[in-house]
A and B are shown apart, each in its own frame.
Chain A
């Protein structure tokens, strides 16, 4: 019987932990999440059902530790040469069960990339923050606070805007940063975050790359306020809300990499954001395949299983095609991030752009084909018992976040066609 494991995973790319942790996360997904996920939408505020599953994955299985160096209790993924492919697999397995959980899980590492990855490992900050994540069996969440009320895309449009629209300010007073500003939408906000990585400017309006600052702010610092989570179309397992920073003081060494380097390495964060997005799409598609295979074998037209109808089989084929291609694409990008010797640094413009290319291709294809698969299921496509509509709702935001589709298009055009004014 064909299963999701018959979709190609390029064998020469897989990381040493791929199979082992892949299996563990698959079991967790099948036992802890898939039987309950239908009730997650109603749990969007409280997370009474969702939280124990997070505790299991991130705390008890320990996956929230993976990025930190081994001697600090982590698994050393940050300095490995398979961080891309290993994280692709992990995210994909979680997303197969629930994209919202995959996002919350993945985003916990997002700001930590700034300090845990070679060659810009910040040992002092790793030592300071590792215990928070590595010495507990409870899920601990971090957030990457970029988006502001006036717009998210502009902040991510780094090559052109260069941080000039950032309104959240960081002012050095003695050996402390004083942070003021209003962020909204970060994954893992809405009250659950323990550690924020905050995108700030040291000089509002400036396009000097040295003024772009990435500063860590523990959520319990005086002056940090987290608003309630927003209600959304999907992604119930991800809480998003407002965060206000009002004269928040943190030590000066909480700046991740320093002037110029914060800007440079933040582009690596963007690359990993795109990789994660493709993994979320790939994982969701794998599960859509499982669902529709079951549906098309247990519903009948002209007394034959639906999959035996030529017209319906055409749609099923398109789903398999897109899943296969997106997965291969995701692994290819993962490998490109893993092999700077072959593809260049993860923060270079080419790799950031190619991440955007693959991400918006994957999102557009996935949403289109899932829409068609839902249609094939007739009314059952919208019936929450089949879970397919959940993937459709959840994935829509993967297409919209990180600056949205148009930013992906502009960055792609800019790089490939060497445009100068976009």
Chain B
């Protein structure tokens, strides 16, 4: 596809046009002392020139030379694809007895997702497969390719980034800072091309395009490979109960990792009735393999220890997910590392499991 050059103002104008077209805008925004994806009602809420300084269990907002430099915020597309709570069935007691039916979710309008990274899009694909719910057909995706990475990123290990496959987005932007800030834009769908055609742009020169690609290639080259995914799949496929005591002592089973993970999809269902006992709702909401009741059966929980719950989580992500859905359940976004209050690093735990499994042979 041919590539165009946009100014920073040109990028803003894209978003302004989308708003005029009636899209809800989800974009990086400064919320709760961090930069994260959020629905914004005004373009001034866009987090511009801010990034996150990220470490296991810690983030701080810092200024960034790049317009859209932040990586690692807690929210992913899951918030919109798979809301934390929704009513799936509703029943009422009326004159003619009790009637109930499934609740079909009403769309709050098409969403334009702006600033998504390669791992975000991979996460949405993996989640869509698990819950059989892709993004809405009317939704639009503008991706920003990574020209920097966080120390918690391992997309190259999981084969999900940092480059963005064209099939994953409508429009793909790459921010080039030198000699002056500009965006190389690739329309990746007809709708993306139509949108780009409405903004003031000029053709990107071969040098501009090469500069953009080089930045993304450098991110890929500089990112250390965390472990071999095939080795992880094998090591955690028939997990041994040995060697998990240490993680059991550190993990708090707080469920933050599963909540921020773009692909963790487990839910529970609860029934609610009104005090007058005339209305009943069945509510589906996020659950986590770390909650005590997740594995509850008659007689109690089959994974009562925290180490057993951690083992379940990491084994599903890295191994059993393959059998279930044909990919790994992890896209290497690093959110679980960043937002674990005690900074547990899945890369290290996987590495340790691989080491243990080879030691046992």
Please indicate whether A and B come from the same complex rather than being unrelated chains: no
Interface residues of A (CB under 8 A from B): none
Which positions in B face A, CB cutoff 8 Å? none
